[in-house]
Structures are given as C-alpha cells and as structure tokens.
Amino acid sequence: MTYTRCWYHCHAATMKGGHYSVIEDAAIVVRGERIAWIGPREALPPGAAEAVDLGGAWVTPGLIDCHTHLAFAGERSAEFELRLLEGASYAEIAAHGGGIASTVRATRAASEEQLLDSALRRARQLLRDGVTCLEVKSGYGLDLPGERKLLRVARQLAGRLPLTVRATCLAAHALPPEYAGRADDYIAHVCDELLPALAEEGLVDAVDAYCEHLAFSPAQVERLFRAASALRLPVKLHAEQLSAQGGAQLAARYRALSADHLEYAGEADVAALAAAGTVAVLLPAAFYLLRERQLPPVEALRRHGVPMAVASDLNPGTAPVLSLRLMLAMACTSFGLTPEEALAGVTLHAARALGLVDSHGSLEVGKYADFVAWDIHRPAELAYWLGGELPRQVVFHGLEVTHG
Ligand code: DI6
Ligand code: FE
C-alpha cells in the first residue's frame, strides 16, 4: 500500500455512528486529501510514508460549526448592556430599530473587503479551537447587493483559510426598512428575484429563514421553501426559538437539513423531525445570552432518535461566540447533553446538518482527512475545559494547519 502520510501514537475518537467509537493506540493513514486507512497501530499495513508521532494525543474529527452568522459589520455590546442594565428584552430592542436592523445598517455600509477582513479574523479564532468546517449565513444585507456581498465573503473564506465553508442564504432573516409593513412583498422579492439571482451566481448551498413572531410567519417561510425547492436548494430553519410557531413541522414537511434552536418544540414537532430525517441543531449560546428558561426537548429528541447537532450561532446579537468547543460545555451544562453527545453534535451530526455526512464528520476511510490532535487525557475533557487552546495540531485535507 502506498500512502503519503501517517499519524500515529494517538487515541482516536472516530465518532463513527455518533459515538466515541475509540481506537486505542491508533494510526491514521492519509492518501492525498482523504483517509486511506485507520485502525490500531499494530495492524498498520506496510508502506512507505512520512510518519508523524502525536505523542499520545487524542484525535477527533475536525470540528464543524453548522450554524453561524459569521459575516457582518460592527458589534452590539451596547445592546448587551441594555439587556443587562435596563432589563430590555431582545424583542423590545428589535422593535426600537436595534437588533438585526442595526447590524444590517453597518453591513450595508461596509465594503466586501472590510467584511472579509472581519470574517477572516473570526474564522481564524474558530479554527484555532479545532474547527475545520463551518457554515456561514447571509442575512445582514437583506437586499441583493448586500446578500451577495456576504455570500461572496463566505465563498472567499474557504480559499483563504484551511476550512470547508457552506454558504446559506438567509435573506428571510428580518424585514428590511424599505419593506416596512410589507413582509409579503419582501418575501415575494426574495423568492422571485433575489434568491434565483444568487443561486444562478453559484453563491448558495442552502436556504434558511427566521420563523418567529418578530420575523417571518410559517406561511411566508413556506413560500420561500417552495422557491428554494424549485431551485433544487436544500432548506433549513430557525424554528421555535422564542415561541412555538409551527416552524419545526414546516421544516420537516420540506425535508429540511436541519431545524435550529427548538426551545419551544414539542413532542409532535420532534416526531415530525424524526420522520423527515431532519437534524436538530441546538444553540446554547443564544439561550444563555438571552437568559432563556425554556429548554429544548432533548429527552424527546433522544427518544425519537433525532440527531442532535450543536453550533455556535455566532452572531453579533445573541451569540458573540469565538469558540465552538465552549459550546460543548454549554450544551452539557445548560441542555443536559453528555460530553459524547455534544462531541457528536459538532462532528458527525453537524456534518449531516450541512449535507456533508458522506465526506465529513467522522474518522472513516474515504472521508476527508480533517482532524484535530488534542492535548487531553479523555475525550470528555473537550466539554469540560472552559476556554484555553487545546489543539496540539489541526490537519485539514491531509495537511497540517499552521495558524497565523
Ligand atoms: N439567530 C438569529 O438569526 C437571531 N437569533 C438567532 O439565534 C439573531 C441575529 C441577531 O440578533 O443579529
Ligand atoms: Fe442563528
């Protein structure tokens, strides 16, 4: 067997089947960008290779952040203070022209270069903490030039950093000011003009919407989902975050890749997600930052066998998150996931939520050689430490990543 590189002297949590699926004293053989062999070192097939001694580290698949709004201008720490010091709610701030609208103003005013620069800085932080694949949503442009700028930034990130990037069009994130009081007209514009144009330019991998009392109704989202289906684009949805709207069942009806947040989802919603094969994406940072009390139905998701992903939701309003690993800790402490479930949530199930499970998310032959060697003694440490930098080495598509 000929291969290009071999990493050995490590323990692998392969995450095959969504479990640690540990291989003790493992070796990983890489040919080109893919895993050619993985197993116990003693069974390593002979072949000439450059070998890398990982010094007993634990290796996991590269982490996948399957829900981010990473491209935007400005920041909203003043709203954080308003919520803290004056007890203002997220919805009240939005109703007074703050919230998403304030980031839209800043984003529309920023150049593509400025947006790329700040997105690169945030993506580098995630990368240092073990992320090798992420999703980037638009949604702070809310018009064709603005949404195009954000999706182009998402596309450029992948060329500039050792990361796989999926670009999601979230034009149905909020109502832009020029459409005030005309939400149906805005949705029609998105369906008939904006989305087809961006899809034609090859900028869209999936379509998302914010189904919420302060954003769009299920009927409006359904119209968008029909337009996405006509363009053969997969859909996903911000569903049941702040109130029960019926978004989860709508997502299931359209065989969505994922339904995200789900704090207010009930048993019937979970059953529908299970039947559709839709991933539940849990977002503990927004829950924490908004000091929510309503917990997502984790026990029902488990019982129905719905795959649970965990993501940062990185955005300037409800989740200024620069570490996906911190989300593991929060998913365990706030939502009651086990460290094993949380790790599956940022690897295999996150890959499924992006439609990438055949090539990403676990250490298996044929998948991309994206993995992280961590300075830990047990995999549960990944959900246990708060902060710090644990990766000893990050490998993307078979090459060691050097961070700058
Ligand atoms: N995702 C979102 O899109 C909004 N909430 C969430 O969890 C927050 C976006 C924002 O406030 O900028
Ligand atoms: Fe979000």
Candidates 315, 321, 330: which one to mutate for ligand 1, based on the most atoms within 8 Å of Cβ? 315
How many other CB atoms sit within 10 Å of the CB of residue 197? Answer: 14
Measured at the CA of 137, the angle between CA 370 and CA 93, to 5 degrees, comes to: 130
Closest ligand 1 atom number to CA of residue 173 = 3
Triad 238, 319, 363: Cα angle to 5°: 75
- Residue 213: CB atoms within 10 A of its CB come to 10
Q: Ligand 2 centroid vs 373 CA: distance in angstroms?
A: 29
**pLDDT for res 4:** 83
Question: Does residue 100's CB lie within 6 angstroms of at least one atom of ligand 1?
Answer: yes
286 lines ligand 1 (CB under 6 A): yes
Q: How many CB atoms lie within 10 A of CB 370?
A: 30
User: Does CATH number 3.20.20.140 belong to domain 64-353?
Assistant: yes
The residue type found at 82 is L
Beta carbon of 284 within 6 Å of any ligand 1 atom: no
Coil, helix or strand at residue 51: strand
- State the residue for tokens 């899809």: 199
Question: Relative to the alpha carbon of 140, which ligand is closest?
Answer: 1
CB 103 within 8 A of CB 73: yes
Q: Could you tell me if residue 202 is left (phi over 0), alpha (psi between -120 and 50 degrees) or otherwise beta?
A: left
Tell me the pairing of strands 391-396 and 371-374. antiparallel
Give Cβ neighbours of residue 22 (< 8 Å, ≥ 6 apart): 11, 12, 13, 14, 379
Amino acid at 358: D
How buried is residue 35: exposed, middle or buried, by Cβ count under 10 Å (0-12/13-18/19+)?
Answer: buried
User: Residue 249: what pLDDT?
Assistant: 98
Ion ligand 2: residues, CB within 5 A, are: 313
Taking 3-state DSSP, the helix, strand and coil percentages for the chain, each rounded to the nearest 5, stand at 40, 25, 35
State the pLDDT at residue 143: 98
CB of 38 closer than 6 A to ligand 1?
no
Buried b or exposed e, range 68-87, using 16+ CB within 10 angstroms:
bbbbbbbebeebeebbeeee
CATH superfamily, domain at 5-61+363-401: Urease, subunit C, domain 1 (2.30.40.10)
The ligand that comes nearest to the alpha carbon of residue 98 is 1
Please report, for residues 18, 26, 174, 310, 404, the alpha-carbon distance to residue 158 in angstroms, rounded to integers and kept in the order given.
Answer: 26, 30, 27, 21, 15
Coil, helix or strand at residue 286: helix
Compute the distance between CA of residue 291 and CA of residue 78 in angstroms, rounded to an integer.
17
Q: pLDDT truncated to tens, each residue of the chain (404 aa)?
A: 556 899 999 999 999 999 999 999 999 999 999 999 999 999 998 886 789 999 999 999 999 999 999 999 999 999 999 999 999 999 999 989 899 999 999 999 999 999 999 999 999 999 999 999 999 999 999 999 999 999 999 999 999 999 999 999 999 999 999 999 999 999 999 999 999 999 999 999 999 999 999 999 999 999 999 999 999 999 999 999 999 999 999 999 999 999 999 999 999 999 999 999 999 999 999 999 999 999 999 999 999 999 999 999 999 999 999 999 999 999 999 999 999 999 999 999 999 999 999 999 999 999 999 999 999 999 999 999 999 989 999 999 999 997 65
Distance 318 CA to ligand 2 centre (A): 8
Strands 164-172 and 131-137: parallel
- Alpha-helical (H) ranges within 161-262 are 183-189, 195-200, 218-230, 247-253
What residue type is assigned to position 35 of the chain?
Answer: I
CATH 3.20.20.140 residue ranges of the chain are 64-353
Any ligand 1 atom below 6 A from CB of 370: no
Q: Which two tokens stand for residue 225?
A: 């989902």
Mutating to test ligand 1, I would choose from 65, 66, 69, 77 the residue with most ligand atoms within 8 A of its C-beta, which is: 69
Candidates 173, 171, 116; CA nearest to 147 is: 171
The answer to whether the CB of 8 falls within 8 A of the CB of 52 is yes
Range(s) of the chain covered by CATH 2.30.40.10: 5-61+363-401
Sheet (strand 236-239) strand order: 236-239, 258-261, 279-282, 308-310
pLDDT for res 374: 98
